[in-house]
Amino acid sequence: MATVPAPLRGVQKQISRTLTGALGLTEPVALRRTDPTRVDDPLTAGPVLVIGEGPGTDALAATLRGWDLDVRRHAAEDGPAEQRWGAVVLDLTDITEPGEESERILALAGTLRELARCARIITISRSADGVADPALAAAREAVEGLVRSLGKELRAGATANGILVADGVALESPAVTGALRFLISARSAFVDGQLLPVTGPGTAPEDWRRPLEGLVAVVTGAARGIGAQTVRTLARDGARVLGVDVPAAGQSLAAVMNEVGGVALQLDITAPEAAATILQRATSAFGGLDVLVHNAGILRDKLLANMTEQKWDSVIAVNLAAQLRITTALALELPHLVQISLASTSGIAGNRGQTNYGYSKAGVIGATRAWAPILAAGGGRANAVAPGFIETEMTASIPRAQREISRRVASLGQGGQPVDVAEAIAYLASPQAGGVNGQVLRVCGQNLVGR
């Protein structure tokens, strides 16, 4: 990127400040994040309040105590005293009709002025999918409106998310525990305003602090940005990692892979032999392949009126066609494959100047949903992560004013960091996410987008 002369940088900063002031925006807070090289950060920033009277609420509280958290069951009696709440977990799984939730919601309301910086509000509720009783369906679906609205009200880096548990999946199951552990911790720093569906029980890892121990992962586009951070995060969680990137990025790729004792593979993923090369390299270096992260992607933004064949075709070839070709070939050899694909909020809500990119990323979501049952039949799964605006070299190429707007429209009032996306990928790669399949997890700070 061309360097901006110093006097112009001052003008840019001033424009940014004026924009911030004119829109009545506040300066964003520094989010509480994990160190991608360390496993022992405290899970929450303070005590945890568990609200609810359902049959599984006590088990939830016991799970959290098992992680050495200071867990309370009643705000009024056991209030956080000198410390502010690090998290509030609201169990709504036993609610059968609108009206029954009111007391618990108001108990939650009473804690909102006593939240720690970057606190977590997490609802646990049952899915409305396939529910025939209108009152029950209403009470269950209503939770989404609560979570999305609360996410927009919270301040100081706090987030609101929910776990949507399918009927038949117990609250004690590793999948619910795993989702709760991800959402309650700093690992979900930029995940906000969404419900994560859990449709199966998942599997508990032997060591919750290194859940990927014994697994082999491949990350494409590993030389920089989200891919490089994903390599570090997967390695921290115990995986052995093969990093793939184009030969032109060979030097940075080697540096990243050396950091974690991984293996570098210089390869253009659009090459017809890409799948065979990846499988051969992973097998010769590590004896197999368990997790595939389709991260490599490119932007070639143009309004559709000005689109060229080269700009359209290259984006579809890298972002979508290569993924499809590679997984189609690998799934035959590796039926247990766990796949995580990088989609984008541009593929969900659309973005001006990104018809080619939006097409490719919405296509990734379609493919993910179709791969989910195919891979599940062999013990694998497929999910997508949809980042919003993340501060990388890719987004540094977007015009400055547009970048500033992209940061500000998020409820968290800022862009995300590559590590935020990497943490979501590492969570979805883990055995405890085994009950999450065919889903799209947004890492967008609750950007102004659809589902």
Q: Nearest distance from residue 184's CB to ligand NAD, in Å?
A: 25
Which residue number, 16 or 277, has a Cβ lying nearer to ligand NAD?
Answer: 277
Backbone angles phi, psi at 209, to 5 degrees: -85, -15
Which residue number, 236 or 442, has a Cβ lying nearer to ligand NAD?
Answer: 442
Which residue number, 93 or 229, has a Cβ lying nearer to ligand NAD?
Answer: 229
Q: Which residues bind ligand NAD (CB under 6 A)?
A: 220-221, 223-227, 244-246, 249, 268-270, 295-298, 318, 342, 344, 387, 389-390, 392-395
Phi-psi region of 362 (alpha: psi -120 to 50; beta: other; left: phi over 0): alpha
Helices 309-316 + 355-376 axis angle, to 10: 20
Residues with Cβ within 8 Å of 75's Cβ and at least 6 positions away in sequence, in order, are 49, 51, 107, 110, 111
CA angle 156, 427, 139 (to 5 degrees): 65
Which residue number, 177 or 220, has a Cβ lying nearer to ligand NAD?
Answer: 220
Q: For residue 260, how many C-alpha atoms fall within 13 Å in the half-sphere facing its CB?
A: 28
Q: Which of 301, 368, 289 is CA-nearest to residue 334?
A: 289
Residue 266 DSSP one-character state: E
Which residue number, 355 or 395, has a Cβ lying nearer to ligand NAD?
Answer: 395
Backbone angles phi, psi at 43, to 5 degrees: -65, -40
In angstroms, how far is CA 188 from the centroid of its own chain? 7
List 357, 371, 389, 427, catalytic entry: 357
Which residue number, 174 or 347, has a Cβ lying nearer to ligand NAD?
Answer: 347
Radius of gyration from C-alpha coordinates of the chain = 22
Q: Are 87 and 75 in contact, with CB atoms under 8 Å apart?
A: no
Give dist(CA 119, CA 113) in Å, integer: 11
Give dist(CA 351, CA 345) in Å, integer: 8
Helix (H, G, I), strand (E, B) or coil at 192: coil
The two tokens of residue 428 are 């979805």
* 427 carries an active-site annotation: no
Q: Nearest distance from residue 91's CB to ligand NAD, in Å?
A: 33
Side chain identity at 361, as an amino acid letter? K
Residues with catalytic function: 357
